[in-house]
Amino acid sequence: MPELTKADFQVGYQSQTILLEQWDLHSTVQQVKEYLEETTSIPIDAQKLLWKGKILKDNNIQLKDLPSVSPTTNRMLLMGSPQKAIEKVNSMDKKLMEQRKIVPMIRMKKQQQPKP
């Protein structure tokens, strides 16, 4: 039986499916993540790619070395948030922190005011 060199992958992300058709199995997880970054705008360091229910932590592993790669369709799951969503959350966090600093200052000023 000849060695498998290419395979199809489906990457599920939210309600969409990203097709990786006839991907070279010598490609690394890092290369898949780079492609997914271009496709979804999710930075590589914010991606979690799951294979058979386990997070692929080693970006240097080749697809051919993943357990149970099939010559037909293989499924992966992508978790993560696009850069804009991350920036929005960080911005909201920053505003909340600023508001927390302001509220105690207002309370202090009210307490310092002389009573009539």
Kindly report, residue by residue over 1-14, the tens digit of the pLDDT: 568 899 999 999 99
Say whether both 35 and 87 belong to one domain. no
Give the residue, 113 or 48, on which the prediction is more confident. Answer: 48
Q: Quick one: pLDDT band at residue 76, thresholds 50, 70, 90?
A: very high
Q: Which residue has better confidence, 104 or 51?
A: 51
- For residue 38 the two structure tokens come to 């271009």
Residue 98: the pLDDT is 78
pTM score, two decimals? 0.73
Are 52 and 10 in contact by the 8 Å Cβ rule? The answer is: no
**53: burial class by Cβ within 10 Å (0-12, 13-18, 19+)?**
exposed
Query: Which domain, by its residues, includes 98?
Result: 82-116
Q: Is 36 exposed, middle or buried (0-12, 13-18, 19+ CB in 10 A)?
A: buried
Residue 1 belongs to some domain of the structure: no
Residue 95 lies in a domain: yes
Cα-only R_g, the chain: 23
Residue scoring higher pLDDT (38 or 3): 38
Tally of structural domains, the chain: 2
